[in-house]
Structure 1
Amino acid sequence: MKLFVKYDYDLVCKTVLKEQLDALNISHTHTTQGEVKIHDTINETTREQLVAALGRYGIQILSNPKETLVERIKNTINDLLNNKDLRTVKVSSYLSDTLLYSYAHLSTVFSESTYTSIENYMILKKVDLVKERICNSDLTLTEIAYQLDYSSVAHLSGQFKKTTGLTPSSFQKIMKNKNI
């Protein structure tokens, strides 16, 4: 028997964080995705326990300011792509306004740390969303292109093929055969 599940990674991570912080009696508030404000100072032993507890779930506490900013950029892009009301917003302006840094600075830090551009990261995330919708819905490519604010199905198909090496329809056939 196979069981197919869909994850809400944001909800899973917030729940795990809350449970682990509560278990260690650490007073906290979730501020933005990927950021938690700790209200009181925690000692080194408690910090090590928290690092170990979160590590079991693949969650890391970042201490490098550049790594932290890169994760904030990724989380902000994910929020942007998952919020249909924000899809028409200019990415550079949204990142600058949300993260309170110039887009030039954000772009430089992101590229230095990830060896790719913010634009390329967005394309990869959009292609991931296309794959998810192909696998988990009965939407047509036209509907998916519209939902993800592509200018056309041809534009979606071109980015998909360039990124994955497959056309969306080839990918769909492979996934259908895999699930039979």
Structure 2
Amino acid sequence: MKAFIKFDINVLTKKLIENLLTPFDIKFRIIGFGEIEFLEKVSQAKIDEITIVLNEYGIEIIENQKSILVQKIKDTIVEMVNTEDPLNVKSSVYLAERLDHSYGYLSNLFSEVTYTSIENYIIIQKIELAKNLIINNQMTLTEIAYKLNYSSVAHLSTQFKNITGITPSAFQRILKKRREIAIKNL
């Protein structure tokens, strides 16, 4: 039997971090997506133990200042893309204000560390959310385009195809066919 699930990556990640860190008996708080604060002194040996446990889940502790800021950029973009209401401000202004750096600096740093642009990363995150919304059958393509701040369904479709290789409509047809096959096989 195949089941389709819906989940909130922010809630999932927060709960996972809480579950992984609690056994270490260290006081901590989750500040925001991708950021925690230890509320007491933690030995390097304990940090090493925590690192090993987190790495099993693809989570790593970042210590390099440039990498920390790049991670904050990524986290802010994920938060921005996944917000309930479309933003009424350009992403460049949003990032600069949220991270308290000029957009030029953020853009150059991001490209230097990740070898891609902030704009491309935003598009990838939007398309991932669009795929999830299509999978969960929550919205029409018009509603998805509006939610993700696209000027039209055609604009969404073009970027979707550039990233995935297929149009959103083709993606919907594939999902429908898979669901029909899954139901037949029950």
TM (norm. structure 2) is: 0.90
Measured against aligned partners, the alpha-carbon deviations of 1:6-43 in whole angstroms (never above 9, x if no partner) come to 22221122112122222111111211211111122211
Structure 1 residues 62, 118: closer, same or farther in 2, change over 3 A? Answer: same
Task: Measure, in 1, the Cα distance between the counterparts of 2:132 and 2:174.
Answer: 14
- Give 1:1-180 correspondences, 5 Å limit: 1-179=1-179, 180=181
Task: Measure, in 2, the Cα distance between the counterparts of 1:109 and 1:52.
Answer: 28
Structure 2: gaps spanning 5 or more residues: 182-186
2:112 is aligned with what amino acid?
E
2:7 is aligned with what amino acid?
Y
Structure 1 residues 168, 59: closer, same or farther in 2, change over 3 A? Answer: same
Q: Which moved more, 1:97-106 or 1:78-87?
A: 78-87
2:168 is aligned with what amino acid?
P
The runs of at least 4 aligned residues of structure 1 exceeding 3 Å deviation read: none
Q: Percent identity?
A: 45
- 1:93 offset after TM fit, Å? 1.4
Structure 1: gaps spanning 5 or more residues: none
Task: Measure, in 2, the Cα distance between the counterparts of 1:142 and 1:92.
Answer: 25
- 1:84 offset after TM fit, Å? 3.0
- 1:88 offset after TM fit, Å? 2.2
Task: Measure, in 2, the Cα distance between the counterparts of 1:81 and 1:104.
Answer: 20
2:142 is aligned with what amino acid?
T
2:87 is aligned with what amino acid?
R
Q: Is residue 88–residue 149 contact of structure 1 (8 Å, CA) maintained in 2?
A: no
Task: Measure, in 2, the Cα distance between the counterparts of 1:58 and 1:93.
Answer: 31
Task: Measure, in 1, the Cα distance between the counterparts of 2:171 and 2:153.
Answer: 15
Q: Is residue 161–residue 168 contact of structure 1 (8 Å, CA) maintained in 2?
A: yes
